[in-house]
Amino acid sequence: MKPLSLILLLVCGFSACASEQHCKKQLTTPISVIQGEQQNSSFVNQKTWVKGIVTGDFRGDDNLGGYFVQSLKPDAKKTTSEGIFVKENNRQLPFKVGDVIITHGEVVEKFGVTQLKNSQRTKVCERKQVLPEAVTIELPLENADLEYLEGMRVTLGKPKYITNNRQYFTYGELTVSSSLLMNPTSVVRPGVKAQKLVAANRLDQLIIDDGSTRKYPFFDKPNGFIDSEINADNPIKIGQKLATTGVMYYAFGQYKLQPTEPIKISHSLPGSQTKPKDVRGDLTIATFNVENFFTSVDEGKENCGPLVNFFCRGADNKTEYQRQLAKLVHVINTADAAVMGLQELENNAQKSIRALVDALNKDAGREKWGYIDTGALGEDVIKVGLIYQVDLLKPQGQFALLNRASDPEFLEHRNRIIVAQTFTDTENNSFNVATVHFKSKSCRDAMDKNLDQNDGQGCYNPIRTQVAAQLSRWLAEDPTGQGAAATFIVGDFNSYQLEDPMVKLKQLGYKNLANTFLAPQNWTSSFRGTVGSLDYVLANAAGQTLVTGLTQWHINSVSMDEFGYNNEPFNKNIEKPKDFYQLDPYSSSDHDVVIAGIAFKK
């Protein structure tokens, strides 16, 4: 009689049965025991056998360099992970996701990840098995420590909002949250409340990665795991919804979901449109930070500014300049405001604002636009400006400047000079418009009280608050001398809605019109996964009676920088695709346009 083992070999084949016997023979350590309940495994530097089902395969030099296995029979503890990463890059090992394997290796902790290295004698025990049910991830998280899910199969409970797209092309990463996250001082006062919201926002974010360690992975694996082509016609915008399933990984101090199934991204995006929403009224007043529109090409030399002592900004070559100009023209002519305050123009005599107006008129096919010729303003490298439609408005009298000459306490070396002008419409109704660009939150040269106080307002908050008071006092003196009752302040205030400068202006009679016409969660910019308003149209009491509506045109805060005018290669080996640049309003700046409608009583 033949031995039973020989009969089995004849029936199932030598290789398959050998693997089966091998899988049953070896004494394995449960993955949950290896992971343990602490940050680091108690099995570090020990060798052991591990058996589990392959849930994610990321072998390859440009990938994570290994694969994930998960327990077939989880324990009853919710505090221990059932998954582990096997650092094994051999693509010749004949297994796939869904196969049950056994392997022998050394337990190590590397960069905070419990993993198995020097894996040997790997065998396939079973093929095409049902994967473990993915653990549902709900945001916000109860705890930022996801150690208990490390290496496990996870899924988003329901589609989550994309709140950060800045790292997509560079590292293949997107950040999702349960909703659009507001910059704390947009919705709560600075200090303790803002600090609490910062902490809450951290728990409401999860990074969706692409399973790659390579920089600029998009250009080797277009779209990564995303189920649709990503290009200028179908970009990834903040506010879109994302759904996916994958495994939980830890890298660079952050937990990241590495997709094992296609990422699905919604195509509808509320609040993002090719044209701004109608604000009604007879005239419209707008503001737009044009993000360093310079007629001087940036050649890396200190040849900009009235004293020619600043490096230039903006376009680095003539092609970029023409592309930047074309996008700005498209946005401004589409917005079609009667008067628009501009910020971040190159501070020269007239060249920057005149070049913009000339291009606007050429695009319109007529002399549609004029500008207030202020000349250079102070010594900064950038300045504010005012443009207007000549058929709708006429400047009344001379422009006025809030500078050291008009207020000796105005610090020109810290603040950009403010421009005010009175306009009259075709019915001889008059109103004032002042365009501002308050000191940025950057901490360069900040000292004492102007340092970041960790209350959510950044550096130079006292300077911005001081200028807010100076501005209100100056406007109350009717600086243009035309006696117009209605006054509007437009611009980039570098202050979120509930920060001291905006509160001060409200106390002094200037109302943020977004508070009247939009939900509290409104925004004009995005920063590190949160959105908030820095750009406003404010009105005094007389101006408020004229306002018919306000909109924030979300063309830039939600968009990806890579679709802007810049044409430089991503690196020496990767050229930017030509079709990334489109003549549309998106990625034309880093701030949105704000537009208010007004109507005078007949």
Residue 7 lies in a domain: no
Residue 492: strand pairing partners: 437, 535
Q: How far apart are CA 600 and CA 282, in angstroms?
A: 8
Residues 296 and 384 in one domain: yes
Q: Which of 112-121, 123-132, 351-360, 378-387 has the lowest mean pLDDT?
A: 112-121
What is the CATH number for 537? Answer: 3.60.10.10
CB atoms within 10 A of CB 11: 9
- 352-408: pLDDT as tens digits: 999 999 999 999 999 999 999 999 999 999 999 999 999 999 999 999 999 999 999
Residues 338 and 436 in one domain: yes
What tokens appear for 17 in the block?
A: 């049965």
Residues 144 and 117 in one domain: no
User: For residue 287, is pLDDT > 60?
Assistant: yes
Q: How far apart are CA 58 and CA 69, in angstroms?
A: 11
- Domain termination site, one of 265, 299, 324: 265
Average the pLDDT over 270-291 and give the result.
90
How many domains is the chain built from? 3
Please give the residue range of the domain that contains residue 54.
25-126
User: For residue 221, is pLDDT > 70?
Assistant: no
- Using DSSP bridges, classify how beta strands 135-137 and 535-539 pair: parallel, antiparallel or unpaired: unpaired
Residues 72 and 203 in one domain: no
How much is the pTM?
0.93
Q: How far apart are CA 567 and CA 562, in angstroms?
A: 9
Residues 484 and 585 in one domain: yes
What is the CATH number for 210? Answer: 2.40.50
Residue 275 lies in a domain: no
User: For residue 289, is pLDDT > 50?
Assistant: yes
User: For residue 602, is pLDDT > 90?
Assistant: no
Residue 472, SS3 per DSSP: helix
Q: How far apart are CA 169 and CA 61, in angstroms?
A: 19
CB 462 within 8 A of CB 257: no
Residue entry with tokens 């680091």 = 40
Residue 75 lies in a domain: yes
Output the CA–CA distances (angstroms, integers) from residue 322 to 30, 152, 251, 387, 561, in the order listed.
63, 50, 41, 20, 17
CB atoms within 10 A of CB 426: 11
Residue entry with tokens 């008009």 = 406
User: For residue 281, is pLDDT > 90?
Assistant: yes
- Using DSSP bridges, classify how beta strands 339-346 and 369-371 pair: parallel, antiparallel or unpaired: unpaired
Q: Which residues contact 532 (CB under 8 A, 6 or more apart)?
A: 182, 183, 185, 186, 496, 497, 523, 524, 525
Residue 578 lies in a domain: yes
What tokens appear for 554 in the block?
A: 């979300």
**pLDDT value for 226:** 84
Residues 378 and 491 in one domain: yes
Q: Which residues contact 322 (CB under 8 A, 6 or more apart)?
A: none
Beta strands in 188-338 (DSSP E): 206-208, 241-243, 245-251, 254-259, 264-265, 283-293
Q: What confidence tier does 2 reach under pLDDT thresholds 50, 70, 90?
A: very low
The mean predicted confidence, pLDDT, of the chain is 92
Nearest to 342 by CA among 393, 399, 384: 384
Residues 261 and 355 in one domain: no
Residue 379 lies in a domain: yes
Residue 146 lies in a domain: yes
**pLDDT value for 8:** 41
Residues 474 and 361 in one domain: yes
Residue 17 lies in a domain: no
- Reduced 3-state DSSP string for 170-225: HHCCEEEECCCCECHHHHCCCCHHHHHHHHHHHHCCEEECCCECCCCHHHCCCCCC
Average the pLDDT over 226-238 and give the result.
86
Residues 74 and 96 in one domain: yes
Residue 186 lies in a domain: yes
Residues 198 and 231 in one domain: yes
- 39-74: pLDDT as tens digits: 888 888 999 999 999 999 999 888 899 999 999 988
As a 3-state breakdown, the chain gives helix, strand, coil percent values, each rounded to 5, of: 20, 30, 50
Q: Which residues contact 503 (CB under 8 A, 6 or more apart)?
A: 189
What tokens appear for 299 in the block?
A: 């050649």
Q: How far apart are CA 369 and CA 311, in angstroms?
A: 30
Residues 287 and 436 in one domain: yes
Residues 141 and 113 in one domain: no
**pLDDT value for 328:** 98
What is the CATH number for 116? Answer: 2.40.50.200
Q: What confidence tier does 213 reach under pLDDT thresholds 50, 70, 90?
A: confident
Q: Is 139 exposed, middle or buried (0-12, 13-18, 19+ CB in 10 A)?
A: middle
